[in-house]
């Protein structure tokens, strides 16, 4: 068979023709890819404009008018140009603020991959039993004190003054800050936990004595980080285990947070497996 069709078939059967066609296809794909990935090419799609409009409506309670929308687009293009120029100049490299912001955004994305399912009653009970120490109520104490500052006479003189006042205190007196020196904080404390007492007075004689001294009468003197004190313990409640029925909402919140933390850790591990960490001090670790 001769003629144009036969010539065309012979041309198409030539390896060189295949090479030219393949090259043309690759060139076209390269041009399309370059156009779409060109840092200097900014495409404003209808979807992006709709997103700008939606964000405006969320902030101001209604959609923007055409003039405002046009300004939003122009402002967005302005920021995008600066962003891309900065990326082209590699201004994002070695910038701790940029690095921290990207880390925060990635952590936010990981946290929103999947919300943990609501726990069943059995799961809550099991979680509560496995973490009983988290729900132990600490002891609490309500007390007053009289303060004696350490003056020129030193510790011994301040302690002696405190003992002298203690000897004169009547049984019915439950507070008497005026009998001592001015204290820079409170004189009366209600339902304080050990951590609160130590935060104020330090890990001292006083912070321990308020949980062991007799209730209903004055005792001391006890040393603190400030000086010497007489204390009157009005009431003291021993610590104990809070029943699940009273703290079910707190246990549920802790359970969901723990489940979310596990899911986030698993998501991070999946990402981390793609990386190789090289530490020159200890070698290479996968």
pLDDT (tens digit, 9 = 90+) per residue, 168-211? 998 888 899 999 999 999 999 999 999 999 999 999 999 999 99
pLDDT of residue 34: 45
Q: What is the pLDDT along the chain (286 residues), one digit of tens a residue?
A: 455 666 556 655 666 555 555 565 665 555 454 444 456 777 888 888 898 899 899 888 889 999 999 899 888 888 888 777 777 777 777 788 888 888 888 878 777 666 788 999 999 999 999 998 888 888 899 999 999 999 888 999 999 999 999 999 988 888 999 999 999 999 999 999 999 999 999 999 999 999 999 999 999 999 998 999 999 999 998 887 888 888 899 999 999 999 988 888 888 888 878 877 665 665 544 4
- Cα 177 to Cα 94, 99, 183, distances in angstroms: 58, 55, 8
**Residues recorded for the chain:** 286
- Cα 123 to Cα 17, 29, 147, 188, 228, distances in angstroms: 69, 55, 51, 43, 50
Evaluate the CA torsion angle 129, 135, 141, 142 in order and state its sign: negative
pLDDT of residue 163: 95
Q: Do the Cβ atoms of 77 and 42 come closer than 8 Å? A: yes
Burial 42-79 (b: 16+ CB within 10 A, else e): eeeeeeeeeebbeebeeeeeeebeeeebeebbeebeee
pLDDT of residue 28: 55
Cis peptide before 221 (omega within 30 of 0): yes
Q: Which two tokens stand for residue 93?
A: 């490299």
pLDDT of residue 35: 44
Helix/strand/coil (H/E/C) assignment for every residue in 6-58:
HHHHHHHHCHHHHHHHHHHHHHHHHHHHHHHHCCCCCCCCHHHHHHHHHHHHH
pLDDT of residue 135: 86
Longest dimension (CA), the chain: 133
pLDDT (tens digit, 9 = 90+) per residue, 234-273? 999 888 788 888 889 999 999 999 998 888 888 888 887 8
Q: Which two tokens stand for residue 127?
A: 């979680």
């Amino acid at each position: 068979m001769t003629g144009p069709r036969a010539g065309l078939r012979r041309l198409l059967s030539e390896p060189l023709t295949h090479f030219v066609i393949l090259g043309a296809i690759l060139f076209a794909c390269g041009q399309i890819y370059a156009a779409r990935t060109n840092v200097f090419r900014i495409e404003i799609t209808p979807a992006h404009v709709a997103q700008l409009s939606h964000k405006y409506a969320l902030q101001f309670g209604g959609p923007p008018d055409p003039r405002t929308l046009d300004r939003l687009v122009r402002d967005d293009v302005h920021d995008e140009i600066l962003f891309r120029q900065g990326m082209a100049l590699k201004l994002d490299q070695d910038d701790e603020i940029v690095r921290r912001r990207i880390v925060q955004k990635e952590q936010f994305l990981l946290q929103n991959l999947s919300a943990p399912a609501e726990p069943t009653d059995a799961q809550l009970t099991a979680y509560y039993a496995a973490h009983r120490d988290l729900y132990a109520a600490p002891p609490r104490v309500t007390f007053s004190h009289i303060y004696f500052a350490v003056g020129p006479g030193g510790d011994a003189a301040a302690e002696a003054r405190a003992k002298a006042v203690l000897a004169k205190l009547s049984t019915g007196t439950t507070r008497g800050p005026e009998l001592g020196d001015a204290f820079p904080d409170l004189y009366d404390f209600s339902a304080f936990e050990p951590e609160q007492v130590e935060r104020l007075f330090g890990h001292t004689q006083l912070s321990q004595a308020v949980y062991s001294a007799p209730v209903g009468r004055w005792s001391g003197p006890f040393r603190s980080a400030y000086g010497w004190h007489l204390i009157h313990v009005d009431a003291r409640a021993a610590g104990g285990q809070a029943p699940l029925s009273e703290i079910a909402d707190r246990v549920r919140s802790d359970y969901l947070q723990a489940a979310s933390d596990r899911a986030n850790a698993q998501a991070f591990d999946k990402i981390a497996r793609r990386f190789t960490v090289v530490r020159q001090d200890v070698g290479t670790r996968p």
